[in-house]
Structure formats: structure tokens, C-alpha cells
Amino acid sequence: MARHSSGHERFLRIAKRDRMPKSRAFMIRVAAVLLSLVVSGFFILAVTKLNPIDVYKSLFAGAFGTKRRFWVTIRDTMMLLCISLGLAPAFKMRFWNIGAEGQVLIGGIVTAGMMRALGTSIPTPLLLVLMFACSFAAGAVWGAIPAVFKAYWNANETLFTLMMNYVAIQLTSYCVARWENPFGSNSVGIINQKTKAGWFPAIFGQQITLNVIIVLTLTVLMFLYLKYSKQGYEIAVVGSSENTARYAGINVKNVTVRTVALSGAICGIAGFIAVSGASHTISTSTAGGEGFTAIIVAWLAQFNSFIMVAISLLLVTLQKGAVQIASQFNLNDYASDVITGIILFFILGSEFFIKFRVVHRSRKGGRS
Amino acid sequence: MERTAAVEMINITKRFGQVLANDHVNLEIRKGEILSLLGENGSGKTTLMNMLSGIYFPDEGEIRVNGQKVTISSPHDAFDCGIGMIHQHFKLVDVFTAAENVTLGTKDDKLDLKAVSSKIRDICDRYGFVIDPAKKVYDMSVSEKQTVEIIKVLYRGADILILDEPTAVLTPQETDRLFGVMRNMKKDGKSMIIITHKLHEVMDVSDRVAVLRKGRYIMDVATKDTNPAQLTEMMVGKAVTLNIERPKFENPVPRLEVKNLTALDPLGVKRLDGVSFTAYGGEILGIAGIAGSGQKELLEAIAGLQPVEPGGSILYYPGGGKTKELVGLTPMQIRRAGVGLAFVPEDRLGMGLVGEMGMTGNMLLRSYSKGRGIVADRKGPRLLAERVREELEVMTPSIDFPVRALSGGNVQKVLVGREIAQSPMVLMTAYAVRGLDINTSYAIYDLLNRQKMQGVAVVYVGEDLDVLLELSDRIVVLCGGQVSGVVDAAKTTKEEVGLLMTKFRKEG
Amino acid sequence: MLSIVQISQLLQSAIVFGTVIMFGALGEILTQKSGNLNLGVPGIMYLGGIAGLATAYGYEHLAKTPNGFVSLLISFTAAFIASALGGLLYSFLTITLRANQNVTGLTLTIFGSGLANFFGGILNTMAGGVGQISVRTTSQAYRTAVAHFVQVGHVGEIFFSYGFMAYLAIILAIVLYVFLFRTRAGLNLRSIGENPGTADAAGINVIRNKYIATCVGAGISGLGGLYYTMDYIKGTWTTDSTIESLGWLAVALVIFATWKPLNAIWGAYLFGLLYWIYLYIPGLTRSSQELFKMLPYIVTIIVLLLVSIRKKKEDQPPASLGLAYFREER
């Protein structure tokens, strides 16, 4: 027989918030970023004994200090942004597409292959359109494979898309070995270096203008697509409740495959831009891990394309700045990953305070 | 022979926010008896029992076990007092065997499944259960899972067992077997409380009946001294006049004819069994029945969401146009075929609405695919949202405020408003006023009546018999997936419907 | 046909390779059995690798006559603790603060690889260049083969030519199997991964179990990184992404093994075999060799598909994998 003497119990309870004003949620996130910068500052101080403020200053200079640095930062921001845009529709549908890295590479392989094969026979403007279309299609197919298995057999999409990354990476290695140039270099080298066939043309004297145009157009289109189109609406309904979707007459399987194919397709375009508009070569590091970073960007932005612009810029600034710090203070540029990690941890943690509140509840026991 | 009390619940009160779930309830369970706890849905039976099993903690009152005052603040405390509850939703791990589930969380120090199995076999032999301790739960029938739940409780040495609607999921044969086991346990000195609203089961298995109504304790009586009619009256109470209007519509015409509809759930259990009826434009057809009698499956079958067995038919008469067969169509095909079917489902936020979206987004759910082009027209829905907000007095900060965060009444207004706005020929509602306050409820009745007077066939699935009797023109009573009767609401009595719901027909 | 020597070589490299990912996978199996899908395995393996290397380096440079056994103990402990701390960070964010598991795991991978490569770079600089780090005593201690003590031939070499950690991995797999499927604590843990609501109702402390499983699991995964740095690359550091790809292969192995530790043993060696077999197939071009390295992932995908199509319950991922647990409150 249990006899409990506890008359009163006090305990903490975590309750879901109904809704927090946007301004306050924004303040919490800003506070999280600031706090994370302070913590990162301590990390820098502890490791290097350098004044963190100086370090942050040179970090900024590293990202934006010269014209060239500025444009490189913008170029890489566009890349990260493009992948994040691709992930947004899948995530909005609660489909965990972890396979962006591979989808980017597939788009990149197709682009590089076409540049090599068709560079001499097709004029660049037409070639660009063709490469755009083919990398779009290739990314779509790559994305649709796990989606079909998810829709019809409920195969775990997180694990499936993750594995597809490495299949794509090995496929890239295969192509690199096939296309090796010069022989023995274990790299493809700059494709069409002399003719620049299949390269993005310089516009307004700037090599990456087209990158910016394509990605910003996609940003606006994705925003409009998710917010105003019929398909965007279907995505939102499926993501919220499959039951409601069926009630509304939505074919959940079709929407799943279609949406993830689109997601993969845009990642494929990111691969096209990376090859044709930036590196003009292909390697296993063409996606450079941004396929994973973009997952975090898309998630944190809660699928809003314009917020993705800001987060992408923040992360790429950090990465670029850290390279500068590394050379200036004789460190190595992996510091940027550490700082990125710290900032992301703080933002992730801060979501708790936006979604939940901690209630102090007292509970009355039986009368004695 | 007067037995001593195993458990006494004295003056128990429990509130959930504004709702008084239990209002100073007194209940006594004696040693070695089977007590039926009887009451309609929402009468507070399960809440009361959850306080015995440590799920909830009473706001007021005290609990005594074997005469000693106890504090039960967790399922573990309940076990320590010898109380175990078998919930309606089984708490079992699918990939574990019966034995593993039984031993899960016990304080035995070593994991000796052989010993556990032999102890399970002992329990089985003693009380007449049949279960293979090595069988995995995912291979088990519902009845076997329930057996595991009961063994779990006995294994932990419980003397007082609470069974929450144990027969709801069982076939008649399985029910008989369960009752046999319960009688064996009684012989062994165990006390049992069975929550139910099936009167024949009460009469069959229990020694005593306690009745709850609307959170209050009504009475208790020895089973041999009572009869189903008296219990029904106790359970549903005297007919209350609610002054709900029932306007008369001239010349009703058939709108929807359901013939021989049979449907199975994913486990292959019959949820609808040869259901036939006709709904007329200009009438409210009430559907009465104990929870889980097939109401959900019936409405979903008509809406194209629940597959039905061959041989069934759902005919839709548009009035003038061609008659349409709805069986085999998807919801989208039904809509594309121009069938004026509106459906207010039971699960408002999980099926009828998108919680994250505002009113506009939810109005869009029915119309987003209309028109050419890739852009969904939001202007129409926005205007509709404004209109619904104004006409139905939906209290929301803005029509873009997520409906999830609105109060229950406002959520329902959004849903009903949207469905009515389709100008349907048939309007189906499931538990349209559940959880709503009086004013909102009347507003909903009023809306339904207006639809009826426009010639719409309204199908109203309800749980409150008083409302069904006053609002409906005719009432179809479902019992165990079958139509147990169709009555004229103006002429019938609450008792008659109550007995039809529980398969007891009034004599004469 | 392959000669005996070649077969022996292939098997040896497969076993060494397999051991790295076996540690990673065993830790992740423990973690996932508690319902946590920790995609931070690569990051955790980095943490284990660098912590072991850095402490060994520090010890060898401070001690006048470094003792291999002491150094081994220090670095082993450090690797386990550092990795477990990574698991603790993940647990705090996903269990207590209920952050999304996928995103948190990926962040941990970025953070862990960044931190490890950052310090690895510093170590390299201190030592005077890439490949100049010398923890000879420690690495030697890790690599002392059992064959050192017994006389064996070619066939015996297949079984006895490894450092102790190769055997530790097998022992760990067996221990983990016994723990998960033969003990009460293991039963409790599995019930949490399957159905935390039921576990909670049965009086099992869901939060505490998840924390412990995830932290210990991370510690075990981290040993894979330690084995890689100490044995596989003989106590050096290269700032590349090898550990990361090994980490993802470890995650793949969890799926391949259908969450069963004993399957992870042969699965790991099979992965190693598939990974290295291209060296022994005559006539392969370098490009087609790359296609062969795809095999472990392809095989994993096929297993994943078979498992979801066959729907055999025992082979499914833990039912609540990836989901945060809330106790239902009214």
C-alpha cells in the first residue's frame, strides 16, 4: 500500500504557445545570433588570445573588403540560396530531402558533360538553355526516385536521400576520372578554358551577373509559387495534414512525387550554375557541403525565400570572412565551420522559446 | 451479503479549464464485485477512472483504498495501490512479444522471459485466458491485445481492474469470452469496474450499476433490481425541452439514397453492415448511435474517403439532372462531377481545416483547383472569408490568423460557413456542436434549419438525444454498423431511441 | 583468380576499414534505438579522432618517456568523452529544447568536423606541417597486433594482424546485442524508440534514457574516429573529408544492419570488402573503380527498399525514430 505524504507538488510544465507576435519572435532570433557571436568570441579568445572584435572586423573585411571578395561572397551566397530554394517545397510538405548535395552534383555532371561534348558544336546561348533544361530534368529524376518509394512504399526518405548523395558523389568521381584533363591530374580542369563555350557570359562587366539574375528570379518565383499557386497550396495542405488533403480531394502520392521532383530539379539548376557559372569544372566538392548547409537554411527560414537570402548571406559571410582571418591571424579556415556551428546551435535552441512556454504550475494534493 | 469497499471515491471534482468534467462524484467499489459505470459520451466516466489510475489528479475530493486515504499522482502510484486500468487505446509496443510487453517497466531486476512466460501461463490458466507469451503484438487480433493489457495489469498484482469500454472493439464471441474471464476473476476476489454504455452487457456481467450524467453522479443500484428501461432513463435523463425550431418543409424529394453499404476498417472488422436509408431535400435526417457505431465510416464513405465493399450503392439525385452513383469516386471526382456535397467532419482541425492557415486559406480548400491557370484564386475565398466572419460572427483577430489558435466555436463556424457557402444539395455534419457553448450551438442549429428550408438534405450525426429529437425530422439509429431503426423524430421518445442504440427494443 | 596472399590482403583491408564504420554504426544503433536519429555521426567521429590525437600528442610531448599504455588510456578516454559531449549537445537541443533532429544532427556534423579540422590544422602547424605529427608511441600501442604475440601464417594473419580496437568493435557489438535484446534496460530502451508514450506509461524515464543512450552512443561512434586516426592513418591528421564520408557510411551501415548490432559486424566487413574489391579486379579503369566504391551505398538503398516493401516488422526503423516526445497533457 502506497501512502504519499506529498500534499503539494510544484512542477514545471512545458506548453505550446498559441502564437507569438512576429516582432517578438524576430527579437528572440536576433538575440540568439548575438549571443552566439559572444560565445564564438570566447572561443576565438580562448584559442587565439586575440581580441574577438578585431577578429570580427577582419571577418567582415574578408567577406566584403575588396571588390573581388565581395563578388565571391555574393556568388557563393547565390549558390547556397539556390539549393535552399530547392529544398523549401519539399520541407514545406514535411518531406526530408537530405539529398540536395547529390542532386546538385547530378545537375553539375550533366552540365559539365554537355559543355565538353557540345561546346564546339552549339552556340553558347543555346547551349546554356539546353544545359539549364537538362540539369533541371536530371535533378528532378534524381529527386523523384526516393519520392516514389516514399509515396508508394513509405520508404524512409531521410535515409534514402542521404544515401543518394553518396551514389551521386561516386558518379561524379567516375565522370572526373573519365574526363580527366590533363591526364593524371585527377581533375577535369577548367572546361573550354580557351573558347569559354558554355560559360555564363559576363554581363555589365561582371562574371556572375547571370548567377544573381537566375537565383534571384528563382527566389521570387519560389516565393510566389509557394504562396499563390495551386500547387503551392497543395504542398501546404499535404504538409499540414494528409487527412485534410485527402478530404480536399488532393492526390497525396502525386503531389509528393511532383514536389520532390521540383525540389531536386532546382538543386540540379544549382549544379548547373556551380559548373557553368562559377567553377567551370566538376569535382566531388562542386556542391562543397552546401547541400547540407542549405537544409539548415531552408529549415530556419521556415520556407520563406526572402528570409533564406538573409540566412545564406550570413553563413557565407562567415565562411568567407573566416578564410581571411585564417590567413591574417595564422589560423585555419575551419574556424568558420566552428562559428557557423555555434550560431546554428543557438538559433536552433532559440526556436524552443518561440514555440513553447514554460509554465510554473502548482498542483494541489488531496486534503489531509 | 454486504461486501466491504475496495475503493471509495469521495466528493471528487475535476475541471478542465471551464468544463466541469466531474462534479462532486461519490463512488464505491466493493471487494469481489463487478461494477458497471454507465453514462453517455461526455458524462465523465473515463475522466473519473483516469483519476483512479493516476492519469489525472482530482481538483477536489479524496480517494480511499481499503479504507486508507491515498494520493495517486501517477500510474505507478495506482499500481502500488493495486489498481490497474485497461485503456481503450492499448499501450503496447508492436514489435515486442506478449511477454516483453507484460514485463516492460516492472521492477523485476533480471530480464527472465522464461519466468515471465510461465507466470503469464499461470495467470491464463487461472482465469481462462488464451495467449501465447512469445507472440508478437503486431500479429495479434484486437482481442488478443486486450488480453495482453489485462494480463499486464494482473501481472503487476492488481486487485482492482478498470476496463474502459472493453467490448467496443470486440466481436460478440470475444465479448462472451471476456465476460467469462471477468467472472473468473471475480471468483478470485478481484474487483472490477467496467465502463460501458451497452445496456445488455451491463445486465449480463455486472453486480451493480452506477450511473453518471453530465459529470454528476446519479445513482447506483444492484443489477438484479433494475432493468434496461430504468437505466436508459437514468443515463439520458428526463427529456429536456430545448426549444430548437423544427420548421416544416413541403414536398421533400429524395436527394441521397444509400443502399446496402458495407465497409471494413484496415483490420478487416466490419464498421458498416448493409446500411440503407434515403435522405430527402428539405429535411434534417438525424443519425443517432453510440460512439463508434459506424457514423464516421458512413459519412466518409459518402464523401469518397472510405472504400466500400461491392454491392453497395450511393445514389445522388441532383433534382432534374441525371442520377449519379457515388461509390467508387474519389473526392475530387465527386466534386468535378458537380455533386453538391458538403461535409463537416468530426475532426475539424485534422480533416476539415488546415490549422496553420487563416480563414482565407481554409476557404480555399474547396475552391483552389477551380479555374484555369496555375495561380489559385484567392480573391473569392478572401471575400468569402470576410462574409463568413461577418455573417457567422467569427471572432478572429484577422482572416489570416491561423484557425488552430481560434476557440472551438469559431473553428466550427469557419468550417460550417465554408461548407454551406458551396450551396450544397446534401450537407453532412458530424458532431457539429461538440464542445461548443450554448449560443454557438443554437447558431449552428439555425444555420442547419436555414439550409433545410432551402431544400438541402441535411444529415446530422449527433450524440445528444435531446437535440436529435428536436432538430431532426427523422432519425436513423445505428447500432454496431447496422441500422437498428428509423423513427419519426416528432413521435418517438428518448427511451425508444436509447434502446434502439443499445439494441433493446421497447416492448409493444 | 586471386592468390591466397591477395585474398588475405583484401580481407585485411576490409576488416580495418570495416572496424572504423562498425564503431560509428554501433553507437548510432544505440542512439537510434532510443528514437533519436543523430545525423551528427560524422561530426562525432571527427571529435573522437581529434580528441584522441590531441591528447596523445600533448602527452607524448610533455612526458619525458611516454608510456604507450598510459597514452592509450588517456587518448581513448578523451576520445570517448569528447564524442559523448557532442552527443550531450545534440541531446540537449533535441530532447530538452525539442529542436528538429535532422537539422541539429547536420549542424553537429558541420560543427564537429570544423572543430576537429581546426585543431587538427593547429596541431599540424605546431608539428611543422601536414603528416609531421608524431604520436609514434601511442599509435604503436593501438596498432600492436595480436599476431605480435602469436605465431601465425597467412591465414592466421587474416584474423590476428590487427590492433586491439578491431576486436573491441566485435566485442562491443556482442555486448550491445546482449544489452539491447537480453537485458531489462535494453528492453526499456527499445520500448522508448518504438513507442515512448507506452514506455512513459509503464513508468520508464523516457528523457533520462534518451540522454544516456545518445551520449553513450555518441561516445562509441567517436571511437571510430579514434581508430581511424590512430590505426588507419597511423597517428596523423589530414584535413580532408575522409572521416565525413566514413561517418555517412556508418549511418548507411545502421540501415543495412536493420538496427541489429550483430549484423553490423559482417555488414561492416562486407562494406569494407565492397569498398576495396576494385583493387583486386583486374582490368578495371580508374573510372570504373569509382563506380565500385558506390556499392556500399547501392546495397544499403536496396536493403532499405526491400525492408520497406516487405514490411517485416523486425527490420523496420524504430517506430518513433526522429520524433520528439511530448508527454500528452490536457
pLDDT single digits (tens) A126-137: 999 999 999 999
Alpha-carbon distance of C199 to B107, in angstroms, equals 14
Is residue A88 a part of any domain in this protein? yes
Is residue A337 a part of any domain in this protein? no
Check pLDDT > 60 for residue B397. yes
Alpha-carbon distance of C316 to B389, in angstroms, equals 47
Location of C-alpha cell 445522388? B316
Q: Work out the percent of chain A whose per-residue pLDDT is above 90.
A: 47
The residue of chain C with its CA nearest to that of A319 is C114
- Residue C1's pLDDT band, with cuts at 50, 70 and 90, is low
Check pLDDT > 50 for residue A9. no
Residue B225 CA: distances (Å) to CA of A350, B221, B230, B404, B495: 63, 7, 10, 49, 19
Higher pLDDT, B266 or A10: B266
C182 at interface of B, judged by CB pairs closer than 8 A: yes
A192-212: pLDDT as tens digits: 888 888 888 888 877 888 999
Best mutation target among A347, A348, A359 (most C Cβ atoms within 10 Å) is A348
- Residue A324's pLDDT band, with cuts at 50, 70 and 90, is confident
Q: Crossing angle, helix B408-421 and helix B379-391, to 10 degrees?
A: 120
SS (H, E, C) chain A: CCCCCCCEEEEEEEEECCCCCHHHHHHHHHHHHHHHHHHHHHHHHHHHCCCHHHHHHHHHHHHHCCHHHHHHHHHHHHHHHHHHHHHHHHHHCCCCCCCHHHHHHHHHHHHHHHHHHHCCCCCHHHHHHHHHHHHHHHHHHHHHHHHHHHHHHCCCHHHHHHHHHHHHHHHHHHHHHHCCCCCCCCCCCCCCCCCCCCCCCCECCECCHHHHHHHHHHHHHHHHHHHHEHHHHHHHHHHHCHHHHHHCCCCHHHHHHHHHHHHHHHHHHHHHHHHHHHHCCCCCCCCCCHHHHHHHHHHHCCCCHHHHHHHHHHHHHHHHHHHHHHHHCCCCCCHHHHHHHHHHHHHHHHHHHHHEEEEEEEEECCCC
Fold of C4-315: ABC transporter involved in vitamin B12 uptake, BtuC (1.10.3470)
Higher pLDDT, B429 or A356: B429
Q: Partners for A (CB, 8 Å, 3+ pairs)? A: B, C
**pLDDT, average across residues B382-388:** 93
Mean pLDDT of chain C: 88
Per-residue model confidence (pLDDT) at position B451:
93
Check pLDDT > 80 for residue A125. yes
Chain B hits for A241, Cβ within 8 Å: 349-351, 354-355
Location of C-alpha cell 561524379? A172
**pLDDT, average across residues C74-80:** 95
The answer to whether the CB atoms of A230 and B68 lie below 8 A apart is no
**pLDDT, average across residues C88-103:** 93
A21 at interface of B, judged by CB pairs closer than 8 A: no
Per-residue model confidence (pLDDT) at position B208:
94
Size of interface B-C (CB pairs under 8 A): 62
Best mutation target among B51, B330, B365 (most A Cβ atoms within 10 Å) is B365
Per-residue model confidence (pLDDT) at position C38:
94
**pLDDT, average across residues A2-16:** 49
Question: How close does chain A come to B340, measured CA to CA in Å?
Answer: 14
Per-residue model confidence (pLDDT) at position A366:
36
The answer to whether the CB atoms of C187 and B100 lie below 8 A apart is yes
The answer to whether the CB atoms of A228 and B331 lie below 8 A apart is no
* Domains in chain A, number: 1
Q: Where are the domains of chain C?
A: 4-315
- Segments forming the whole domain that contains residue A155: 73-311
For C:78-117, CB contacts with A below 8 A are: 89, 93, 97-100, 102-104, 106-115, 117
Per-residue model confidence (pLDDT) at position A302:
85
Question: How close does chain C come to A299, measured CA to CA in Å?
Answer: 8
Per-residue model confidence (pLDDT) at position C141:
80
Mean pLDDT of chain A: 86
- Residue C329's pLDDT band, with cuts at 50, 70 and 90, is very low
Question: How close does chain C come to B100, measured CA to CA in Å?
Answer: 8
**pLDDT, average across residues B13-24:** 82
Is residue A352 a part of any domain in this protein? no
> Which residue, C20, C101, C33, is CA-closest to C260?
C33
Per-residue model confidence (pLDDT) at position C152:
60
| Nearest neighbour of B355 by CB, restricted to A1, A231, A240 | A240
**Residues 6 or more apart in contact with residue B154 via CB below 8 angstroms:** B84, B123, B127, B161, B185
Check pLDDT > 90 for residue B318. no
**Residues 6 or more apart in contact with residue B253 via CB below 8 angstroms:** B280, B281, B282, B317, B319, B455
Chain C hits for A176, Cβ within 8 Å: 290
Check pLDDT > 60 for residue A6. no
CB A97 within 8 A of CB A87: yes
Question: How close does chain A come to B482, measured CA to CA in Å?
Answer: 25
| Nearest neighbour of A166 by CB, restricted to C121, C248, C326 | C248
The answer to whether the CB atoms of A334 and C99 lie below 8 A apart is no
Residue B72 CA: distances (Å) to CA of A264, B20, B79, B82, C238: 54, 20, 9, 11, 60
Q: What are phi and psi of A314, to 5 degrees?
A: -60, -50
The 8 Å CB, 24+ separation contacts for B116-124 are B116/B155, B119/B155, B120/B151, B120/B155, B123/B151, B123/B154, B123/B155, B124/B151
Higher pLDDT, B458 or C200: B458
Residue A149 CA: distances (Å) to CA of A44, A158, C255: 46, 12, 16
- Is the whole-model pTM more than 0.80? yes
| Nearest neighbour of A18 by CB, restricted to B58, B350, B405 | B405
The answer to whether the CB atoms of B70 and A18 lie below 8 A apart is no
Is residue A89 a part of any domain in this protein? yes
Check pLDDT > 90 for residue A49. no
B52-86: pLDDT as tens digits: 988 888 989 999 998 899 998 888 888 889 999 99
Half-sphere exposure of residue C241, counting CA atoms within 13 Å on the CB side? 13
Alpha-carbon distance of B490 to B470, in angstroms, equals 7
Check pLDDT > 60 for residue A3. no
Element (H, E) at B458: strand B457-461
Per-residue model confidence (pLDDT) at position A19:
66
Q: Please give the DSSP secondary-structure letter assigned to residue B377.
A: P
A224-237: pLDDT as tens digits: 999 999 999 999 99
The answer to whether the CB atoms of A334 and C121 lie below 8 A apart is yes
The answer to whether the CB atoms of A163 and C107 lie below 8 A apart is no
**3 state SS of B488:** strand
**pLDDT, average across residues B387-396:** 89
CATH 3.40.50.970 fits B253-340+423-501, yes or no: no
Per-residue model confidence (pLDDT) at position B506:
36
B425-467: pLDDT as tens digits: 999 999 998 877 777 888 899 999 999 999 999 999 988 888 8
Alpha-carbon distance of A25 to B476, in angstroms, equals 51
> Which residue, B56, B385, B23, is CA-closest to B217?
B23
> Which residue, B344, B340, B321, is CA-closest to B461?
B344
CB B232 within 8 A of CB B199: yes
Give the cell for residue B20.
466541469
Residue B243 CA: distances (Å) to CA of B247, B277, B466: 12, 28, 10
| Nearest neighbour of A349 by CB, restricted to C97, C102, C288 | C97
The answer to whether the CB atoms of B378 and A248 lie below 8 A apart is no
CATH 3.40.50.300 fits B5-236, yes or no: yes
Check pLDDT > 70 for residue C149. no
C319 at interface of A, judged by CB pairs closer than 8 A: no
**pLDDT, average across residues A233-260:** 94
Angle at B22 between CA B19 and CA B27, to 5 degrees: 175
Size of interface A-B (CB pairs under 8 A): 104
Q: Work out the percent of chain B whose per-residue pLDDT is above 70.
A: 96
Higher pLDDT, C150 or C283: C283
A363 at interface of B, judged by CB pairs closer than 8 A: yes
**pLDDT, average across residues C16-28:** 95
- Residue C147's pLDDT band, with cuts at 50, 70 and 90, is low
- Residue A110's pLDDT band, with cuts at 50, 70 and 90, is very high
- Residue B504's pLDDT band, with cuts at 50, 70 and 90, is very low
**pLDDT, average across residues B44-51:** 88
Check pLDDT > 90 for residue B387. yes
Q: Work out the percent of chain C whose per-residue pLDDT is above 70.
A: 94
Per-residue model confidence (pLDDT) at position A362:
45
C191 at interface of B, judged by CB pairs closer than 8 A: yes
B125-146: pLDDT as tens digits: 999 888 999 999 988 888 899 9
Torsion of CA B330, B333, B337, B340, to 10 degrees: 50
Q: Crossing angle, helix C4-33 and helix C41-62, to 10 degrees?
A: 110
| Nearest neighbour of C319 by CB, restricted to B76, B79, B94 | B94
The residue of chain C with its CA nearest to that of A352 is C97
Chain B hits for C195, Cβ within 8 Å: 91-94
The residue of chain B with its CA nearest to that of A92 is B356
Q: Work out the percent of chain A whose per-residue pLDDT is above 70.
A: 92
Chain C hits for B108, Cβ within 8 Å: 184
Question: How close does chain C come to B410, measured CA to CA in Å?
Answer: 20
Residue type, A171: L
**3 state SS of B70:** strand
The answer to whether the CB atoms of C249 and A158 lie below 8 A apart is no
Q: Where are the domains of chain B?
A: 5-236, 253-340+423-501, 357-422
Chain B hits for C204, Cβ within 8 Å: 104-105
The answer to whether the CB atoms of B93 and C188 lie below 8 A apart is no
A288-308: pLDDT as tens digits: 888 989 998 998 888 889 999
C314 at interface of B, judged by CB pairs closer than 8 A: yes
